[in-house]
Copies of this chain bind each other. A is one copy, B any other.
Amino acid sequence: MKTKTIIIDDHTLFNDGMSLILKESGFFEVIEQIYDSRQAQTKCFSLRPELIIVDYNMPHLNGLEVVKQLNALGSDMKIVIVSMYADKKEIELFKKEGIDAYITKTTPGTQLIEALKKVMEGEKLFESKNIAKTVIEKDFFAIKHQLTKREMDILRLIKQEETTEKIAEMLNLSFYTVETHRKNINHKLKFKTKKEFYEFLETLDE
């Protein structure tokens, strides 16, 4: 019996290509290709695949959000992330969600098949060896969890390039209060460069 598989990737070409790689192998049957991550949960619920391959970078819902939705279904599907990058801490995040493998797009097709077969046998695979060298190591996730709710509110407005004055106005707070929050945020973040700060802001949800 071939493994019933669903591929979730907005890059149609990549999705189609991977689909063919799986079919060619003779071990996998692609029962559905999803190009819009928002359809992931309902389709996986109704089609009940044994294996789901999820792209990390997608519009609307990113890979992590999709995984969370799939986990909410509470079934025993295997979930594999295929990503362009291999951020150590991002992998940590996915591990917390209990995914079965994290594979980069630089993996050859044959290796992918081998990896997927192992996953179906219950193994967990994470490309953590090659990773450390190439990739940014910032633990944005951990940092985020040092911040309070109010601090996050203010950060989101900072992301929108609002000034302290405007933020105070918008949240009906004193200018000084917002300044204090910013000060506390800065103490917690301690980024060395503005670029790093802006990259961090990018990881915030609106």
Enumerate chain A interface residues (CB-CB to B < 8 A). 10-14, 16-21, 24, 82, 84, 105-110, 112, 159, 161, 193-195, 198, 201
Contacts and interface: CB of A to CB of B under 8 A. Distances in A.
Contacts of A201: 195
Contacts of A16: 17, 21, 108-110
Nearest to A134: B59
Contacts of A161: 193-195
A166 to B, nearest CB: 14
Nearest to A201: B195
Contacts of A107: 12-13
Contacts of A198: 194-195, 198
Contacts of A17: 13-14, 16-21, 109
A13 B195 contact: no
Nearest to A106: B12
Contacts of A10: 106
A11 B17 CA distance: 12
Contacts of A105: 11-14
A11 B193 contact: no
Nearest to A14: B14
Contacts of A14: 13-14, 17, 105
A21 B20 contact: yes
A203 to B, nearest CB: 13
A106 B11 contact: yes
22 contacts: A11-B84, A11-B105, A12-B107, A12-B109, A13-B14, A13-B17, A13-B18, A13-B105, A13-B106, A13-B108, A14-B14, A14-B17, A14-B105, A16-B21, A16-B108, A17-B17, A17-B19, A161-B193, A161-B195, A194-B194, A195-B198, A198-B198
Given A10-B106, A16-B108, A20-B24, 7 more contacts: A11-B105, A16-B21, A16-B109, A17-B17, A17-B21, A17-B109, A20-B21
